Amino acid sequence: MREKQSNPKGLQVSRAALTANHGDVILRFDKVSFNYGIKVILNDVSFPIREGAKITLMGQNGAGKSTMFDLIMSVHQLEEGSIHIQKGLTIAQAMQVMPREKLGFSIREFFQSAFFKKVYDIDPRMEEVLEIVHLVAPFEKKVSDLSGGQQARLLLAYALIQKPDILLLDEPTNNLDKQGIEHLTKFLVEYKKTCLVISHDAKFLNAFTHGVLYLDSHTHKVEYYVGNYLDVVAEISARIERERMKNVRLEHEISERKDQANFFAQKGGHMRDVARKMREKIEELNEQLVETRQEDKTIREFVIPAELFAEPVVTINSVSVIHNHKPVAKKVDIVLKKGDRLLVSGPNGIGKTSFLKGLADGKVKGSSLLKGAIIGYYRQDFSGLDMGASVYRTLAEVMKSGSDEQLRSVAAQFLLSSDTLDHKVESLSEGQKGLLCFARFVLQRPALLILDEPTNHINFRHLPVIARALNKYQGAMILVSHMNEFVEEVNVNRTLDLGAL
């Protein structure tokens, strides 16, 4: 474990200075090891969390960040080591995805499920936390009737209503619009208690983070850095580059010594002893090589092939928007051909996700899809994926043509290893599910892409690669995304603002 302070001047701050900023240690991992099935998640991990600290949990998609939250919440049993939590403290988690078993709850029933006993003053408590997350909705409304952004706010409010001493936030900005992210950021800046956050939104994290827990998916170790988020990321990147350069120097020296050892070994006599000592030195140098960190890996550049048609792929003459919690039909005139990219915007709850789902299902009144056109649909909740199917089968079922070798090659482009192909989709992290969707598009050759918040859950290193692939895509595209920088890279040429209708 390493504990460092990063700042613009690169100064190191002592442990005494660090501990002065926060209270006592209230949560500690002590030599924790954990496997998820045959997959190693943590190996002999130790670190402390202090009272009042706001810490980011950072690591590659699938490294095990959400699993660490599950361990803190006692969802899984430890195999080795222990997790110490200060006696009497309460913990609550704002999950990144609404549990399917709670989609049928009313908002009131959803909040009531946060408590072991019936809470008779639940309504005023609900009003308080819904104000914090900036969500207005009737308490009798079904959770399933809320938009993805509204559900994200509801999940945060669910954790806040418990008034925990330790708050765990798993991708809290997913599905939130700009206003929602600003509101959440302000809340966390002013929040006095301890908070652990998993997020890929660098700007959001940098506004309030005190430090980073860095989970290396190759060594399965955790390193603890203290400092603002962007400085820590820069420090980690610089360290990885130093390690890479060290390997280059060592490999060059090893190669030279091998040549020398082979030369002396052929001379015979005492020269063989020289060769033996040189081989011992080579072994020492090999031990100094630093294992390449998988966190430095980014998905490779890829192309989404498209089946192109001369005719319009989709025609839209009407759209339903939500006003005062009721759908209102609005006339529009949109025709999308190959190469057209439509951005659908509007505040959370206006009906963006319902509109995309209706289009994909052919149930939007006044709209039509070109017969025979294949649709690639990225659902923000991944409900289009069969969670019980293997990753291999999930890719094979959309592959129009090609070999087993081609499927595995495409999967590898998206960091889905041969071992991962045998796993069920439900075992993947949310980020890996997102990459799986893009791998499916490559094999599917869609004429139309419908993308509902495709940046959610995805590691920030992958986003520029995905944006470039979408920018080169030649079919028609309909996109919903709250990430303006990503939208700009995709170069949309049509917009539909549901909030302005």
Residues 6+ apart with CB under 8 A from 256: none
Give pLDDT, residue 292: 54
Distance of alpha carbon 467 from its chain centroid, rounded?
Answer: 16
Residues β-bridged to residue 212: 56, 225
Give pLDDT, residue 11: 29
For every residue of 227-255, which 3-state class applies, written as one string?
Answer: ECHHHHHHHHHHHHHHHHHHHHHHHHHHH
Instruction: Provide the residue-wise pLDDT of the chain in tens; the chain has 501 residues.
Output: 334 333 333 323 333 333 445 678 999 999 999 988 777 889 999 999 999 999 999 887 778 888 999 999 988 888 899 999 999 999 999 887 888 899 999 999 999 999 988 889 999 999 989 988 888 889 999 998 888 778 888 998 999 999 899 999 988 887 677 777 888 888 888 888 999 999 877 788 888 888 889 888 778 888 888 877 777 777 777 777 777 787 788 788 888 888 877 777 777 777 777 777 777 777 777 776 666 554 557 888 999 999 888 899 999 888 888 887 788 888 989 999 999 999 999 887 888 888 888 888 887 777 888 888 999 999 988 888 999 999 999 999 999 778 889 999 999 999 998 888 999 998 888 889 999 999 999 999 999 999 999 988 887 778 899 999 999 999 999 999 988 888 989 989 899 998 888
Per the structure block, which two tokens stand in for 197? 């956050």
Q: To 5 degrees, how large is the angle CA 227–CA 233–CA 235?
A: 80
Give pLDDT, residue 425: 93
Listed residue (260, 368, 242, 374) closest to 316, CA to CA: 368
Distances (CA, A) of 140 to 7, 104, 120, 126, 287: 49, 11, 16, 12, 63
How far is the C-alpha of 325 from the C-alpha of 317, rounded, in Å?
22
Give pLDDT, residue 296: 56
Per the structure block, which two tokens stand in for 476? 């028609």
Per the structure block, which two tokens stand in for 407? 């499927």
Domain ranges of the chain: 247-295, 314-500
Helix (H) or strand (E) holding 205: helix 202-206
Classify 175 as helix, strand or coil.
coil
Contact call for residues 271 and 438 (beta carbons, < 8 A): no
Tell me yes or no: is domain 314-500 CATH 3.40.50.300: yes
User: Helix H segments across 207-308?
Assistant: 229-265, 271-288
Contact call for residues 34 and 42 (beta carbons, < 8 A): yes
Give pLDDT, residue 501: 84
Site of tokens 């952004």 = 149
Q: How far apart are the first and last CA of the chain?
A: 54
Q: Rounded to the nearest 10 degrees, how much is the dihedral formed by the CA atoms of 168, 174, 179, 184? A: 0
Site of tokens 């390997």 = 247
Distance of alpha carbon 265 from its chain centroid, rounded?
Answer: 53
Give pLDDT, residue 152: 83
pTM: 0.67
The amino acid sitting at 351 is G
Contact call for residues 280 and 323 (beta carbons, < 8 A): no
Distances (CA, A) of 65 to 162, 385, 451: 23, 22, 25
